[in-house]
């Protein structure tokens, strides 16, 4: 017997006969506490999350997902869903619940002639990039190869190619979804269009996506990309110039700023290792020679410690930050959106950098716009379509004894930056204890999301997420 939490707040015992019957019906399997693969399935990228689900259902295909949903709904059980990426908030695993593990559903199929990719929800961005770049094609995704495609897409998805080709959700053609009542439906502009609207930014509130169909774009196999590293003392003069360059950049050019203690990178002089620096990370998604011209103004700023911009294979550039995002480290993130970065905001930001609580902590400011800003705010659930800056207070550390100091630092900087923010936020960067109501992240789209939630999931079966309540 295994005890599992119920949707009504109680608990029930699952008999071995019921679990055996469930397991026999699956292409995948049921994992039990203490058994093989159970710990692997429940262990998340963020080591702050250490929870014990009652059982794990490891799915191999859509039929397994359907059977898992039906099993949990009929028994009134609480289900969490793990796709396989970062899931910073930790909603993917909960104590005493049924964990549906999609991490082994990693197929990526590319139709190069049609420029379309079909991707399963357990795939990581590295899986997608390797398969699409084999044909010099790309889906606009994030910037780290170990990010999961499902969470990234359902929250919006932005990265180096967003300004040129739009967000990940802007390139979603259709999705196969298992709904709360166990139906398998296709969501697209012509089939269940309200559901299709909602999953493009509304998270995992409306069903479980078992397959994504993406539009592909010509890109690579090389892009002009790299880093320019400056002393942090130069940041008060350089950050205003960064904002001007970002606001006036062609769609092909993306420039982000990162502030942290310098890691021991081989191209940095040893005396700079461990000292605070300002890093401009940049990528040009067009012809290399045009990229050289577009980056000239950025490269002329100040006197950098290092400038390592050159042609790189796009798959390698997409994985360039992987060493700074390894699994098994404690993570706590906070995020704001800004229309602009005035001098007072830059001062507050740099005050925070002066008190970094751990060498692995950083703050990055991503600039997005271009193609994504030419989409109406109400065209998808993701609402913040203006050309703007996204801040991630990216707090990472290893020692649990530093939990309080690191979390306090992140919250303090977040609060200091709040007066300059738009009030919206990127849900994929929101921690579990986020005090900001989820609805506020969606602005005027929040009411429609609640209505669609009420249609497809009136009992809030899919509740372990950045939850949107059904109306």
Residue-wise pLDDT tens digits, 451-464: 999 999 999 999 99
Residue 437: the pLDDT is 66
Domain-ending residue, one of 101, 124, 153: 101
Task: Indicate if 188 and 288 belong to the same structural domain.
Answer: no
pLDDT tens digit sequence for 319-361 = 999 988 889 999 999 999 999 999 999 999 999 999 999 999 9
Inform me whether the pLDDT recorded for 19 exceeds 80. Answer: yes
Q: Are both 254 and 382 inside the same structural domain?
A: yes
Q: Quick one: 234 and 214 in the same domain?
A: no
Q: What's the pLDDT score for residue 248?
A: 93
- Same-domain status, 95 and 112: no
- Count: domains in the chain: 3
Give the CATH number, domain containing residue 400.
3.40.462.20
Asked, for residue 468, whether it belongs to a domain, the answer is no
Q: How far apart are CA 247 and CA 240, in angstroms?
A: 11
pLDDT classification of 365: cutoffs 50, 70, 90: very high
Is a pLDDT exceeding 70 seen at residue 91?
A: yes
- Residue 348 belongs to some domain of the structure: yes
Q: Are residues 261 and 380 in the same domain?
A: yes
| Domain boundary, last residue among 58, 85, 101 | 101
pLDDT of residue 161: 97
Confidence (pTM): 0.96
Side-chain-facing half-sphere of 269: CA atoms under 13 Å = 9
Instruction: Find residue 81's DSSP bridge partners.
Output: 100
Contacts for 44 with CB less than 8 Å, ≥ 6 apart: 82, 87, 90, 92, 93
Give me the chain's average pLDDT, please: 95
Residue 197 has pLDDT above 90, yes or no: yes
Contact residues for 133 (Cβ-Cβ < 8 A; gap 6+): 219, 220, 221, 313, 314, 315
Are residues 379 and 298 part of one domain?
yes
Reported as a pLDDT band with limits 50, 70 and 90, residue 443 is confident
164 and 293 in a single domain? The answer is: no
Instruction: Give the C-alpha separation, 190 to 330, whole Å.
Output: 43
| 54 and 127 both lie in a single domain | no
Give the chain as a 3 state SS string: CEEEEECCCCEEEECHHHHHHHHHHCCCEEECCCCCCHHHHHCCCECCCCCCCCEEEECCCHHHHHHHHHHHHHHCECEEEECCCCCCCCCCCCCCCEEEECCCCCCEEEECCCCEEEECCCCEHHHHHHHHHCCCEECCCCCCCCCEHHHHHHHCCCCCCHHHHCCCHHHEEEEEEECCCCCEEEEECCCCHHHHHHHCCCHHHCCEEEEEEEECEECCCEEEEEEEEEEHHHHHHHHHHHHHHHHHCCCCEEEEEEEEECCCCCCCCHHHCCCEEEEEEEEECCCHHHHHHHCHHHHCCCCCCEECCEEEEHHHHHCCCHHHCCCCEEEEEEEEEECCCCHHHHHHHHHHHCCCCCCCCEEEEEEECHHHHHCCCCCCCCCCCCCEEEEEEEEEECCHHHHHHHHHHHHHHHHHHHHHCCCCCCHHHCCCCCCCCHHHHCHHHHHHHHHHHHHHCCCCCCCCCCCCCCC
Residues 257 and 188 in one domain: no
Residues 264 and 393 in one domain: yes
Residue 153: domain span = 108-218+445-456
Average pLDDT, stretch 257-268? 95
Question: What's the pLDDT tens digit per position in 142-176?
Answer: 999 999 999 999 999 999 999 999 999 999 999 99
Whether residue 72 is contained in a domain is answered as yes
389 within domain boundaries: yes
Helix axes 343-353, 403-417, angle to 10 degrees: 170
Q: Once rounded to an integer, what is the mean pLDDT over residues 384-400?
A: 94
103-129 per-position pLDDT tens digit = 999 999 999 999 999 999 999 999 999
Phi first, then psi, for residue 217 (nearest 5°) are -130, 150
pLDDT interval class at 436 (50, 70, 90): low
Quick one: 185 and 316 in the same domain?
no
Confidence of residue 13 (pLDDT cuts 50, 70, 90): very high
pLDDT at 439: 72
* Residue 435 resides in a domain: no
Interatomic CA distance for residues 372 and 148, integer angstroms: 21
Say if residue 314 is in the same domain as residue 409: yes
Q: Is residue 449 part of a domain?
A: yes
Nearest to 331 by CA among 427, 432, 416: 432
User: Residue 192 is part of a domain; what is its CATH number?
Assistant: 3.30.465.10
Q: What is the model's pLDDT at position 440? A: 72
Q: Is residue 277 part of a domain?
A: yes
Residue 435's pLDDT is 63
């Amino acid at each position: 017997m295994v005890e599992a939490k119920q949707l009504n707040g109680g608990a029930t015992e699952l008999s071995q006969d019921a679990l055996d019957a469930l397991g026999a019906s699956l292409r995948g399997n049921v994992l039990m506490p203490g058994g093989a693969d159970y710990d692997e399935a429940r262990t998340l990228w963020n080591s702050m999350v250490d929870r014990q689900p009652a059982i794990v259902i490891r799915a191999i295909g859509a039929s397994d997902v359907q059977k898992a949903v039906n099993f949990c709904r009929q028994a009134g059980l609480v289900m969490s869903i793990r796709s396989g990426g970062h899931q910073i908030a930790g909603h993917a695993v909960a104590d005493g619940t049924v964990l549906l593990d999609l991490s082994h559903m990693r197929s990526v199929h590319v139709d190069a002639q049609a420029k379309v990719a079909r991707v399963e929800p357990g795939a990581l961005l590295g899986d997608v990039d390797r398969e699409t770049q084999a044909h010099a094609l790309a889906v606009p995704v994030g910037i780290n190869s170990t990010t999961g495609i499902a969470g990234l897409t359902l929250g919006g998805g932005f990265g180096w190619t967003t300004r040129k080709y739009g967000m990940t959700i802007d390139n979603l053609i259709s999705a196969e979804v298992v709904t709360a009542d166990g139906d398998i439906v296709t969501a697209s502009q012509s089939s269940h269009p309200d559901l299709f609207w909602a999953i493009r930014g509304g998270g995992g509130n409306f069903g479980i996506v078992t397959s994504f169909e993406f539009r592909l774009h010509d890109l690579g196999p090389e892009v002009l990309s790299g880093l320019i590293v400056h002393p942090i003392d130069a940041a008060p003069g350089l950050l205003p110039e960064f904002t001007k360059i970002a606001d006036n950049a062609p769609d092909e050019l993306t420039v982000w700023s990162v502030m942290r203690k310098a890691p021991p990178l081989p191209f940095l002089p040893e005396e700079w290792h461990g000292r605070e620096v300002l890093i401009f990370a940049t990528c040009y998604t067009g012809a290399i020679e045009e990229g050289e011209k577009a980056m000239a103004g950025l490269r002329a700023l100040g006197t950098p410690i290092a400038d390592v911009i050159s042609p790189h294979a796009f798959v390698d550039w997409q994985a360039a930050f992987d060493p700074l995002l390894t699994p098994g480290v404690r993570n706590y993130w906070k995020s704001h959106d800004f229309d602009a970065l005035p001098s007072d905001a830059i001062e507050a930001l740099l005050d925070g950098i002066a008190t970094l609580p751990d060498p692995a902590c950083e703050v990055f400011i991503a600039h997005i716009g271009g193609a994504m800003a030419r989409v109406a705010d109400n065209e998808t659930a993701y609402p913040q379509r203006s050309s703007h800056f996204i801040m991630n207070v990216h707090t990472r550390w290893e020692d649990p004894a530093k939990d309080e100091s690191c979390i306090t630092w992140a919250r303090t900087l977040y609060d200091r930056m709040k007066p300059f923010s738009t009030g919206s936020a990127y849900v994929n960067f929101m921690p579990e204890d986020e005090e900001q109501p989820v609805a506020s992240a969606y602005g005027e789209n929040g009411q429609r999301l609640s209505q669609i939630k009420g249609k497809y999931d009136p009992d809030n079966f899919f509740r372990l997420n950045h939850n949107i309540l059904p109306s």
